[in-house]
Homo-oligomer: A and B are copies of this chain.
Amino acid sequence: MTSQAGPRARPAHAADVATRLHSAAIHLLRRLRIEDQASGLSGPRLSALSVVVFGGVTTLGDLARAEQVRPPTMSRLVAGLIEAGLMEAGRNPDDRRVQQIRATAKGRSLLEAGRARRVRRLTRDLERLAAVEFAAVAGALDVIERIARANPNHSTHER
């Protein structure tokens, strides 16, 4: 029924894989999130800091878009992080409306420590796998990464 000979003809199966991958990602992160308590930072602050640390210098607006919150929300989040000594900001000399935001050394190391805790736990789980199982995960990573970082604008028309 679903096995027509189109170029990529396995729609039902794809939906299955999507359902399972989605659910697995949720459960995986829910479990790793427990480690974040040790950082002393709230989820929103940790997440915003992470975008700045890994993405390098950004503007407040970019950060708000990345975190899917409104500018006033990010404005306060950043203010809190600056007060905590984890970020610093200054106006862009070429366009003095924009806030150029970067992480401080303290911010980077705090975030790195937290991420290391999450990754350490996941590493332990992976080390317990049989060789073939581990290879299956490792082999799927390139593709999963590509899907994960795909442009939100779905296919049809480029922006």
Contacts and interface: CB of A to CB of B under 8 A. Distances in A.
Contacts of A94: none
Given A8-B131, A15-B119, A15-B123, A27 B137 contact: no
A118 interface: yes
A91 interface: no
Interface residues of A, number: 57
Query: Looking at A8, A123, A148, which has the most chain B CB atoms within 10 Å of its CB?
Result: A148
A147 B28 contact: yes
Contacts of A140: 136-137, 139-140, 144
Interface in A127-159: 127-129, 131, 133-134, 136-141, 143-145, 147-150, 152, 154-155
